[in-house]
Structure 1
Amino acid sequence: MDLQGKLALVTGGSRGIGRAIALELADAGADIAINYSSNPQAAEEACELVRAKGRRAMAFKCNIANDPENHAMIATIRKEMGPILVLVNNAGITRDRTFAKMTHESWNEVLSVDLTGQAMVTHEVLPDMVNAGWGRVIFITSIVGEMGNFGQSNYAAAKGGLIALTRSLARETARKGITVNAVAPGFIETDMTSVVPDNVLEQVRQNTPVGRLGKPEEIAAAVRFLASPRAAFVTGEVLNVNGGMYMN
């Protein structure tokens, strides 16, 4: 088991892609800290699924856009579970509208969670990895951060910023035994896509060479590889998991 005995923090880990990642890392032997923002029941359900695999799991409520909450969460995780050696920055929100109609509030809200919040969680966790001489940081970005999307300029800016952060941070941490990578999902079957009109989803399928939406478990499999010792020579990379919709 690649991650036996290591502790992984998955932000936004109570449902969808985050839950799938938590379960996949548990299968790899990791204990799991699940961050959530608003649904304690879903977070505890995810923890129970992890425990059923024989791994430790605890849920921690935190708005990652709030620096004091971030600091308190990481301190509590260290006290209750130990140092964090695998960090999967998955938490994110959307506030979609065209740029002309976008308010400052909706712009700032998305960037504060999807970019700044993820960066600040990473800043809090990195000392654990430096002390251990080993670590994995994985950002969940998006195909939208690479090719853009109508009505999602705030989301695209945040996700594109994460890609730039991935590459810069990888250069800073490589000699410390820490890799920093990103996974960029395409359109995945989650709560986010469940509210997208059927005609739009059909157009997405037609524009995707494999002809379907992805599954959360397919994103989780990519994360597991990047978190594993087998990916020790991979850093600063963006792994596109999008069915061929965007090729780079």
Structure 2
Amino acid sequence: MKFALITGASGGIGRSTALTLAKKGWNLYLHYHSDKSSIDGLMLELKELGVDAIPIQADLTRPEQVRKVVDSIFQIDGIVYSSGISGWGLFQDQKEQEMDRMINIHVKSPMLLIQALLPKLMNRCGAIVIVSSIWGQIGGACEVVYSTVKGAQLSFVKSLAKEMALNGVRINAVAPGAVATNMMNSFSNEEIQQIKGEIPMGRLASSEEVASSVYFLLSEDAAYVTGQTLAVNGGWHT
């Protein structure tokens, strides 16, 4: 019996990952920040799939709340860190407070969370997947802070993978391009059509497609894969 923690489980990618893992028989810890109604609905779907699921509320823009998540977890075989917030605008207009929130949720909180759970993962030869972004690989104008913290996630993955390899813990990342989730709601239909026109496959990714990539990296099919970033971007910017 396997147990996975999914942070940001109320979001599009987190929710799809939860359902994908549940269909494979995984039991789940479902972290969320404020969207309890989405988690309640997800819990009902997971119950129908016959798996156990435990909701955990915490605001991961505040690193001191990482302990709320850690203290709720007993057995753990996998971590999927999909929490995140986006930001848009010229770098010179970015406020320090918003930079701190971005750094906390994308860098400091996952580092503290994973650090605290590593002993349990080592006991189970577990795996970690961080949901990063294409902008962490190539950088994006008007998303400088977001690109920076997503790039930091990828460096963390490469470094920790080398450190933990002999302990049986694998850590990888997925780097989605444009995904049809609520994060795209800030774009107009015209802007979305323009983005689709730039993607060789001509469409946005679905959250289920990203979730399938996450599952692969958690699974035994990826037993010799660690320290890698799997780009899920339809050929965009490659």
Using the size of structure 2 for normalisation, the TM-score is 0.97
Per-residue deviation, 1:72: 2.6
What residue number does 1:41 align with?
37
Taking only aligned residues, the RMSD between alpha carbons, in angstroms, comes to: 1.1
Matched, 1:123 2:115: yes
CA distance in 1, matches of 2:63, 2:116: 10
Distance in structure 1 (CA, Å) of the matches to 2:134 and 2:146: 11
How far, CA to CA, are the matches of 1:246 and 1:224 in structure 2? 24
Task: Say yes or no: does 1:212 pair with 2:206.
Answer: no
Q: Deviations over 1:176-215 (max 9, x none)?
A: 1111000000000000102211222112111100000010
Equivalent position of 1:187 in the other structure: 178
Q: What corresponds to 2:48 in structure 1?
A: 52
State the partner residue of 2:6: 10
Q: Which runs of 4+ in 1 moved over 4 A?
A: none
Deviation at 1:39, TM superposition (A): 1.3
Unpaired runs of at least 5, structure 2: none
**What is the TM-score of this pair, normalised by structure 1?**
0.93
Residues 47-105 of structure 1: per-residue CA shift (max 9 Å, x gap):
22112111101110011233432113221222xxxx11100000001232110111111
TM superposition shift of 1:246: 2.7
Q: Which residue of 1 aligns with 2:23?
A: 27
Whether 1:66 aligns to 2:58 is no
59-68 or 223-232, which deviates more: 59-68
CA–CA separation in structure 2 for the residues paired with 1:202 and 1:66: 36
One of 103, 107, 115 as aligned partner of 1:111: 103
Matched, 1:222 2:213: yes
Q: Which residue is equivalent to 1:95?
A: 87
| Percent identity over paired residues | 30
Letter in 2 for 1:120: L
Q: Which moved more, 1:194-203 or 1:232-241?
A: 194-203
Q: What secondary structure, in the 3-state scheme, does the structure 2 residue paired with 1:8 have?
A: strand
Q: For 1:77, what is the secondary structure of its paired residue?
A: coil
For the 8 Å contact 1:94–1:155, the answer to whether it is kept is yes
Aligned residues: 238
Give CA deviations for 1:123-173 in whole Å, capped at 9, x if unaligned: 1211101123x0111000000111222211111001000000000000011
AA paired with 2:61?
A: A
Q: How does 1:75-86 map to 2 (within 5 A)?
A: 75-78=71-74, 83-86=75-78
- Aligned ranges for residues 111-190 of structure 1 at < 5 Å? 111-132=103-124, 134-190=125-181
